[in-house]
Amino acid sequence: MPQLKGALIALLGLVGSAATAPSGCTSNSVKLQWVGDTPDYTTGTTFGVPWPQGKFKPNDTSFSISGGMDMESWVTGYWRDGSVKWSAHAIPPIEDVQDEYTIKASRGSTLKTGSISVDDSDSEVTVDTGKITVTFPKEGNSLISSIQTASGKTVGRNGKLILHSQSTIADDAASRTETSIDYFNFESNIEKVEVSKDSSVRALVTVRGKYQLQSEGEHDDWLPFVLRFYLYSESDSIRVIHSVVFDGEADKDFVSGLGIRLQVPLAEEELYNRHVRLGGAVKGITGLRRDPGEEVRSAQFEGKETPNIDTWDTRVSSRMQWIPEWNDYSLRQLTADGFNLKKRTKPGQSWIDISAGTRSSGLAYLGGATVGGLAVGLRDFYKQYPSGLDISKAASDNGEITLWLHSPDAEPLDLRPYHDGMGLDTYEEQLDALEITYEDYEPGFDTPYGIAKTSEIYIHAFDATPSAERLGQLSKHLQAPPVLYADPKHIHATKGFGSYWDLVDRSTPRAATIEDNMAFLNEFYQGQVDERSWFGFLNYGDVMHTYDNDRHTWRYDIGGYAWDNSELSPDLFFWQYFLHTGDAKVYRFAEAMTRHTGEVDCYHIGDWKGLGTRHGVLHFSDSAKQGRIAQPQYRKYFYYLTGGDERVGELLTETLDADKTYGKLDPVRKVREDGWVPEPGKPFTFGLGTDWGAMAAGWLIEWERRGPRWEEAREKLTNTAAGIANLTNGFVTGSATYDIDARTLTAPPADPNNEGIVEVSHLSAVFGAPEVISEALEYWGDDAPEGFKDAWLDYCYYYSAPASEQEERYGEAFGKLNLYQAHMRLTAYYAQQKDDKDVAVRAWKEFYESTDGFLADQEWAMEEISGPEVLLPIHEAAWISTNAAAQYGLAGIQGLALARDALEEYSPPS
């Protein structure tokens, strides 16, 4: 296959004729709706909309939205022919939010309608939204040098990232006396600042850097971070996505505080007109023994400027010096279920308790009635515990507001292994242990080096202290930032996310039961997160792998059964279930999972960049580092729906290097018998399911996005697919030899002459391969490598076919496999592609009669257990494993999409 450099321009040309004669059944107008209830407050919204192949030409399509709103539009995904597959759109804050909008695509160029203004100089980037002007320096420690309101008030200054770390942790309270700890303070140090070009409604400022030591001692710059600041036209809010990669040493570098801090200038404000929306006024004038006047009191409570102090009752005004000034405030959410809030007059004095409760909304404001100020909040504040909000120096000229992503009041982030290896030195011992704890251990592999964490932050600027109502709206906004998405019928019709799912159809009892069951699974997992407290900085977004029926608990402490790390693709189930239903809770759940599995469970730097870690007690403890866990397909839905979330886009890019890891790490090193040793750049063998499936997803997405490496990606995808097609037994071959430089795939070493071997794994098709292949085949269309589709359809047909048919086709049967319920969707895909009703019925037979998933006679119920045998009351469904749940869900969704009619024709065994 020839190199395709420069093909983008050519393709853009090619699509011309298609755009003039649109194909497909979709209209040019697409309804947009909110995920969940219509919000009462928005701060600017970005969303994605898919379009059918061949319909809209990127350089000759104009988008508009109903209500005459400003909108900035760009393309995030292209069809093979260069037509728009996914567009992204940004709209400003909405005054009077409607339940629905309509987006319209038409020929022509879009006029710029937003009023955002960007100044990108050598030293700084300045963005003026019309409401606020924010300045981002290009070097130093301050990420934001100032936030100025339209009226000219500087309400924020000197915004920095703050990091504290320490060299060790005392083992217990007693050992503090003999533990010598070095403490370090770091701040953000800017390395690179970029701003989006041609911004009209939305400007994105991307700041990269590392944390740099500010205190005594020695420590390298570390923890590379990337901050993305999203600013919208006419908005006074800034959305901030903070991502950080751990590149320290687990036993020497303990993060003991990670946050973002901004200064609020207060010099011009009287103390009694300074407000802390957490803990009252800096100098309170309510509740005193003498009354300054009702107007004075109510002004302070409402955050308005008080009448001039000369007008107050002098019994108060003459004694202002005796009223304490409350300088510092601290809200700490150190567990998911409890926060406390306190304040002090100054360092060296004791704190006093203000209040306490279960789950804080995680928003705080510092400012003045006349000088204005800032509110800062962390999304999912309690779910991301240990989190915190500090207001400091509120009685000084420059108050500070610090949002802690990891509170310094919590115990430090401890990324050390949870066991000492237990003497598991040899592969033989490790494989033996795998037999009992299901943990795949190997010394040194339980490392957090290279994992990441992303947090979502909002900064709101005010000309004056906002009302309680406004802060209430912002709190609500923080819990579930509004999401607009396209009519799911439209999404389905465009094939923007393939054709393997469809909308809910409960028109027959059987379909309705499957729908009920899938709804049950979603509700169950959402409930388990809360009941099992699957919360926390490193944990939130994940679920557990397997239940321990004896103990009424998930197997949180048993090797390979604890954190799920996307095992058997719950990410896919929840995202496809969202597409299928539009359920808001599912969206939020899947979003959290995407943010977790993409960051914490994967490596983002180093030799394992692009790989993830197999399920385990710690998210990074298992020694199986594989591409299947970093499967880009898991991130794809969120990526396009959000108009191309830039952080997730970066994660997708990272996986393009996953094929290089095979030159450094042999995934099957513990069972290999041929003595092969990996060597960078040299050909290696990989699996055609989990390995190739993950790489193929990354290549396809890069091609779709026309990313910087899209031609390399297209070639790798197409060549390897062609290679599979050329294997005598296609996918049934199980593995193949990949030449990373030549970008070719050939028969595996065990079958040098490509005579055809049979090696089928139950895992090959349960980590996204079916979705990727289905989408890739649609993407290639007529241009698919010859024989590739047939190779896949063969695999789909034969995986669950009778042994006799397997034998007839491949010369030998596949033997007893597993996950036949899961694989019914491959059978269904075959049936749909071949329009073969008999095979479609066979798919449902596999769905209902397999004994390796949920049984047909399963009672879909949870049991409530609240007796003494459990620590806390829980809902239990001991028959559910995440493997089974995810694959049942995918079978259900795809079976209903691909073999709906045959469902009614299936006859259960009598």
Q: What's the closest the beta carbon of residue 660 comes to Ca ion, in angstroms?
A: 23
Q: Which does 99 bind (CB under 5 to 8 A by kind): a second copy, Ca ion, none?
A: none
What does the per-residue mask of binding to a second copy show for 147-186, with x meaning CB under 8 A? Answer: ---------------x-x-x----xxxxxxxx----xxx-
Nearer to a second copy, 277 or 635 (CB): 277
Give Cα 75 distance to the centre of its chain.
21
Q: Quote the tokens at residue 461.
A: 């600027």
Instruction: Spell out the alpha helix ranges (H) of 537-583.
Output: 570-581
**Torsional class of 819: left (φ above 0), alpha (ψ -120 to 50), beta (otherwise):** left
Nearer to a second copy, 135 or 402 (CB): 402
CA distance 151 to 674: 73
Which strands form 484-486's sheet, in the order they lie side by side? Answer: 61-65, 100-107, 29-34, 484-486
Please tell me whether residue 411 binds a second copy under the rule CB under 8 A.
Answer: yes
> Which backbone phi and psi does 130 adopt, to 5 degrees?
100, -30
* Options 219, 555, 595, 615; binder of a second copy; rule CB under 8 A: 555
27-49: buried (b, 16+ CB within 10 Å) or exposed (e) per residue? eeebbbbbbeeebebbbbbbbbb
**What number of helices (H) and strands (E) belong to the chain?**
22, 36
Closest CA to 825 of 792, 802, 786, 803: 792
* Options 571, 601, 751, 876; binder of Ca ion; rule CB under 5 A: 601
8 A C-beta contact, residue 874 and residue 532: yes
* Options 17, 38, 151, 298; binder of a second copy; rule CB under 8 A: 298
Which strands form 84-91's sheet, in the order they lie side by side? Answer: 45-50, 84-91, 72-78
Secondary structure of residue 206 in the 3-state scheme: strand
Binding part of the chain for Ca ion, among 123-131, 593-601, 763-771, 832-840 by CB under 5 A, reads: 593-601
* Options 523, 548, 607, 759; binder of a second copy; rule CB under 8 A: 548
Q: What's the closest the beta carbon of residue 622 comes to Ca ion, in angstroms?
A: 10
Please tell me whether residue 218 binds a second copy under the rule CB under 8 A.
Answer: no
* Options 96, 99, 310, 469; binder of a second copy; rule CB under 8 A: 469
3-state helix, strand, coil in the chain (%, to 5): 30, 25, 45
Please tell me whether residue 856 binds a second copy under the rule CB under 8 A.
Answer: no
With a CB cutoff of 8 Å and minimum separation 6, the contacts of 34 are 99, 482, 483, 484, 485
What does the per-residue mask of binding to a second copy show for 363-392, with x meaning CB under 8 A? Answer: ---------------------------x-x
* Options 111, 289, 753, 804; binder of a second copy; rule CB under 8 A: 289
Please tell me whether residue 867 binds a second copy under the rule CB under 8 A.
Answer: yes
8 A C-beta contact, residue 826 and residue 851: no
* Options 112, 208, 346, 664; binder of a second copy; rule CB under 8 A: 346
Give Cα 223 distance to the centre of its chain.
19
| Amino acid (one-letter) located at 452 | A
* Options 219, 239, 343, 716; binder of a second copy; rule CB under 8 A: 343
Q: Which does 334 bind (CB under 5 to 8 A by kind): Ca ion, a second copy, none?
A: a second copy
Token pair 């490790």 is found at: 430
* Options 149, 300, 569, 613; binder of a second copy; rule CB under 8 A: 300
8 A C-beta contact, residue 697 and residue 632: yes
Instruction: Spell out the alpha helix ranges (H) of 655-768.
Output: 658-661, 690-705, 710-726
Nearer to Ca ion, 565 or 685 (CB): 565
**Residue 810 burial by CB count (10 A; 0-12/13-18/19+): exposed, middle or buried?**
buried
Binding part of the chain for a second copy, among 48-56, 414-422, 694-702, 825-833 by CB under 8 A, reads: 414-422
Please tell me whether residue 642 binds Ca ion under the rule CB under 5 A.
Answer: no
Q: Please give the residues from 233 up to 272 whose contact with a second copy meets the rule CB under 8 A.
A: 251, 256-257
Q: Please give the residues from 519 up to 558 whose contact with Ca ion meets the rule CB under 5 A.
A: 542
| # chain residues binding Ca ion, by CB under 5 A | 5
Closest CA to 763 of 592, 575, 569: 569
Give Cα 386 distance to the centre of its chain.
19
| # chain residues binding a second copy, by CB under 8 A | 119
Please tell me whether residue 557 binds a second copy under the rule CB under 8 A.
Answer: yes
Q: Please give the residues from 553 up to 592 whose contact with Ca ion meets the rule CB under 5 A.
A: 563, 565
Binding part of the chain for a second copy, among 98-106, 422-430, 639-647, 704-712 by CB under 8 A, reads: 422-430
Binding part of the chain for Ca ion, among 282-290, 611-619, 695-703, 789-797 by CB under 5 A, reads: 611-619
* Options 619, 628, 706, 842; binder of Ca ion; rule CB under 5 A: 619
Instruction: Please report the beta strands in 509-645, taking only residues with DSSP state E, as ranges in sequence order.
Output: 547-548, 553-554, 612-613, 625-626
Q: Quote the tokens at residue 573.
A: 């189930």
Q: What's the closest the beta carbon of residue 356 comes to a second copy, in angstroms?
A: 4
What sign does the dihedral 609-615-616-622 (CA atoms) show?
negative
Whether omega before 386 lies within 30 degrees of 0, making that bond cis, reads yes
* Options 59, 115, 167, 340; binder of a second copy; rule CB under 8 A: 340
Angle subtended by helix axes 509-531 and 570-581, to nearest 10: 120
* Options 96, 198, 310, 550; binder of a second copy; rule CB under 8 A: 550
CA distance 7 to 5: 5
Q: What's the closest the beta carbon of residue 262 comes to a second copy, in angstroms?
A: 16
605-634: buried (b, 16+ CB within 10 Å) or exposed (e) per residue? eebbbbbbbbbbbbbbbbbbbbbbbbbbbb
* Options 80, 157, 219, 297; binder of a second copy; rule CB under 8 A: 297
461-483: buried (b, 16+ CB within 10 Å) or exposed (e) per residue? bbbbbbeeebbebbbbbbbbbbb
Q: Which does 489 bind (CB under 5 to 8 A by kind): Ca ion, a second copy, none?
A: none
Q: Which does 56 bind (CB under 5 to 8 A by kind): a second copy, Ca ion, none?
A: none
What does the per-residue mask of binding to a second copy show for 664-693, with x meaning CB under 8 A? Answer: ------------------------------
CA distance 228 to 43: 16
CA distance 33 to 287: 47
Please tell me whether residue 553 binds a second copy under the rule CB under 8 A.
Answer: yes
Binding part of the chain for Ca ion, among 614-622, 696-704, 749-757, 901-909 by CB under 5 A, reads: 614-622
Q: What's the closest the beta carbon of residue 266 comes to a second copy, in angstroms?
A: 19
8 A C-beta contact, residue 53 and residue 79: yes
Please tell me whether residue 295 binds a second copy under the rule CB under 8 A.
Answer: no
Q: Which does 619 bind (CB under 5 to 8 A by kind): Ca ion, a second copy, none?
A: Ca ion
Q: What's the closest the beta carbon of residue 448 comes to Ca ion, in angstroms?
A: 12
Nearer to a second copy, 176 or 192 (CB): 176
Binding part of the chain for a second copy, among 81-89, 554-562, 571-579, 811-819 by CB under 8 A, reads: 554-562
CA distance 412 to 406: 8
Nearer to a second copy, 617 or 773 (CB): 617
Please tell me whether residue 427 binds a second copy under the rule CB under 8 A.
Answer: no
Nearer to a second copy, 489 or 551 (CB): 551
CA distance 134 to 157: 9
* Options 124, 409, 657, 852; binder of a second copy; rule CB under 8 A: 409
Binding part of the chain for a second copy, among 191-199, 289-297, 656-664, 801-809 by CB under 8 A, reads: 289-297
Nearer to a second copy, 320 or 519 (CB): 320
Q: Which does 432 bind (CB under 5 to 8 A by kind): Ca ion, a second copy, none?
A: a second copy
Q: Please give the residues from 106 up to 145 whose contact with Ca ion meets the rule CB under 5 A.
A: none
Q: Which positions touch Ca ion (CB under 5 A)?
A: 542, 563, 565, 601, 619
